[in-house]
Amino acid sequence: MHRRLVLLSVGLLLGAPVAAQTPDDDFNTFPPPGTAAPPQPAAVPPARTTPPPPAPKPPAPQPIILPSGGPPATAPATVPPAGVQPVRPPSVPAPAAAAAAAPAVPAEQLQPGQKVERILPGSPPPGPSTIGDPFVDPRNYRLSQGSFGGLASAMAISSAAIGPPGVLRFAGYGSYYENTGWPRAGDSVTRSGGLFAADYVVLRWLEIYVSYAATTTSNTNSDPHFISAVGDVGLGAKLSWPVSPSFALALDLRATRFPGVGTQDIAQAGYTFAQFLLLTWSPRFPLRFSFEFGAQFQWNSVVIAQPPNQEQEISLGQTKYNQLIAGVGLEFPIPILTPFFEYTTALPLGVPNDVLTGAGGQSVPIHSALPHQINVGVKFTLIENLTLVAAGQFGLQGTPALGVPAIPPWNFVFAATYAVDLFPKPPVREVIEGVAVAGPPPPPSTGTVNGLVTDASNQKPLGGVVVTAEGVELGPVATDATTGQFVTRPLKPGPVKLRLQRDGYQEILVDAVVDPAKPAQVQAALTPVAKSSRMVVSTTARRKPVAATVKFTGPETKVVETKADATGPTTVGVVPGAYVAEVTAPGYLAQLRELEVSAGAELQVNFDLQPEPKKKRVIFRDDRLELLVQVHFAPGKAAILADSYSLLDEVVDVIVRFGVKRVRIEGYTDSTGGKAANLRLSQSRAEAVADYLSSKGVAKNRLEAVGYGDARPIAPNLTARGRELNRRVEIVVLEK
């Protein structure tokens, strides 16, 4: 029985090879990023073509060029024109690379009636030989079935990549183990097994597979001596999702039926159902990584006429518990062969107290009986469509236990795989016939101007702008409401002026040069027309009108003359914006004021003028404003006392009347106190004066404040009078 089962396994191995698939396919093939796709035949320009005639078996030799009225099809082919490569008839397929490189010949390059024939290549083989491929080449990788029946990373780890649809695969696996002292001391065990599987990719995202397996085990200490498990049938389906050209995820669903020993009765069978999440990744270098994680569930146990002893349970590989299963695999696809490495393990669930029964009846902790296994092997890819597999399986299980799959110390696995494309695309023969070529079209006699118009205030596209070409009778065009772009009507070559108009914007003219060879490009921005604003001005003193001159300086300059006998304010229209108002009147102190008027708004501006003092306290010198009276501050502080406000109003009057543009306000102290404190105090007092002048309308950029402390006394600090003179503020003219 043992020898017959081994012969059956070898027969399945040699007679039913499994599928192999290269990454040249257009789905889930994981070429390294940046790898160029296989070259495709160039598209043929419009021409008169004749459908390819049915090829006889065997077909007669076909000429490449068929001149009008030339020799018959059996005559030797004439020499092809320059740039035309000979192609083989369908009966002698050219290599894929050569066929793909055959250029398409435009019909315009042939003489009228001259014909050129070429062959468009069909589908490549599912698994071309890797002999002669570069070391780093995606074609070195082949998909093949694993020991469970479906497509695998190498042998035991399921692959998330499934390749293109329409490929049928067959697999034959065989395994052999012989050793003594396992699963317990004194045992002499020989185990062999075989598996036949078929796999088919139905859709780009769906793979289905079926498997049939048989094993036989002989153990010198078991009764019976030979124990066979024949008829393990597995069904599976895989749903694949290629996230990117080098990365894929998948869901693998499997169901397996284990018949009872000595019977095929369905009622005396065991069943398992497993589901796995899969991941496959291929980086740039020749490496392929796969990972699987899932769970397996049990229904019923394999039934034997009498309760199985320990040797029978281990020989049959009975599993009593549901399991969590995980595995990882690495492949290194290079020319001729693909070395691989895999690791798998499982964790039984629901074990009472996490303790199992060993092969000798002893108690075994669950962690000592976990079925760890390493697979190391090679896939040979030197024969087209045929892949050979040789691998060693090495068990790392500490102690075999009942109810958990027993993993032998080693196991030799050999397999052969084969692929069949059920729906290959045949080569296509194409004939191109020369046609008469018309002369070049006359050059265009007109051209256009393309443009973009924006709003100058916010740089946004401006729609509804009417564009008219000056001196041309053609009608105008308008800019697009969304993009602000326009294209003129056809214009004669040469310079042209375009008038751009829209309500609420200033009209402009734009120059352009019309070129029939290419459209002229222009850009323009229209400025909105400002809405009229008004200032309502009045000048009074003690609530009575005063004749004065008011000058507004800003976006425009306006001068308003008010009268002493005015019965109401004076109104003046201005452009919206920021202004500085200067007011001068005989016998009154001049004033400054900063104003902001909005578009379309009316601003009330009232100036309450103060009479000039009878005796001036501020005198303009060439380089300074001389203060005849000191500015008074609170003792030891920078607060200006109220009796000095009128003095600073006179400073403003002098700045306005003499047109002083910039001044520096210098603060000084006496020598009382520390130098650092005096310096800070003098700086604060100078800034306080600058702040007051700014509040009266003098722009801050016209003022500079500096404190010098007690550094520049003008009198000795020995007396109270001398210290009083040193506590001073000076105003220096920087720019007139």
Whole-number pLDDT of residue 547:
92
Distance CA 465, CA 378 (A): 75
pLDDT greater than 50 at residue 2: no
| Secondary structure letter of residue 519 according to DSSP | -
Whole-number pLDDT of residue 266:
53
Whole-number pLDDT of residue 17:
36
Q: CA–CA distance from 563 to each of 546, 547, 548, 550, 566 (Å)?
A: 6, 4, 7, 11, 5
pTM of the full predicted structure? 0.47
pLDDT tier for residue 700 given thresholds of 50, 70 and 90: very high
CATH 2.60.40.1120 in the chain, residues?
449-526, 533-608
Neighbours of 713 (CB within 10 A): 16
DSSP output for 61-112: P--SB--TT---TTSPPPPPPTT------TTSPPPHHHHHHPPPPPGGGSPT
Classify strands 449-455 and 428-433 as parallel, antiparallel or unpaired.
unpaired
Distance CA 559, CA 554 (A): 12
Burial (CB < 10 A; 0-12, 13-18, 19+), residue 39, is: exposed
480, 475, 507: which is closest to 491 by C-alpha?
475
Give the least confident one: 402-411, 544-553, 607-616.
402-411
- CA atoms within 13 Å, Cβ hemisphere of 597: 27
CATH 2.40.160.40 in the chain, residues?
2-22+128-421
Q: Indicate the SS3 state at residue 436.
A: coil
Which CATH entry fits the domain spanning 449-526: 2.60.40.1120, 3.40.630.10, 3.40.50.150, 2.40.420.20? 2.60.40.1120
Whole-number pLDDT of residue 262:
52
pLDDT for 307-347, tens place per residue? 566 666 666 666 778 889 999 999 999 998 899 999 999 99
pLDDT for 640-670, tens place per residue? 999 999 999 999 999 999 999 999 999 999 9
Which CATH entry fits the domain spanning 618-735: 3.30.1330.60, 3.40.50.880, 3.30.1540.10, 3.50.50.60? 3.30.1330.60
Whole-number pLDDT of residue 265:
57
Distance CA 422, CA 425 (A): 10
Q: Indicate the SS3 state at residue 12.
A: helix
pLDDT greater than 80 at residue 674: yes
Give the least confident one: 51-55, 155-159, 530-534.
51-55
Q: What is the SS3 assignment for 638-663?
A: CCECHHHHHHHHHHHHHHHHCCCCEE
User: What are residue 197's DSSP bridge partners?
Assistant: 171, 211
pLDDT for 415-470, tens place per residue? 998 988 888 888 887 777 776 666 677 777 899 999 999 999 899 999 999 999 99
| 176, 410 contact by CB (below 8 A) | no
Whole-number pLDDT of residue 23:
40
**Which residue is it, tokens 């043929």?**
44
**Which CATH number does 533-608 carry?**
2.60.40.1120
pLDDT greater than 70 at residue 15: no
pLDDT greater than 60 at residue 19: no
CATH 3.30.1330.60 in the chain, residues?
618-735
Summary mean pLDDT of the chain? 80
pLDDT greater than 50 at residue 671: yes
Whole-number pLDDT of residue 497:
93
Radius of gyration of the chain from Cα atoms? 50
Distance CA 391, CA 395 (A): 13
Whole-number pLDDT of residue 656:
93
Mean pLDDT of 511-529: 91
CATH topology of domain 2-22+128-421: Porin (2.40.160)
> Would you report the helix, strand and coil content of the chain in percent, each value rounded to 5?
10, 40, 45
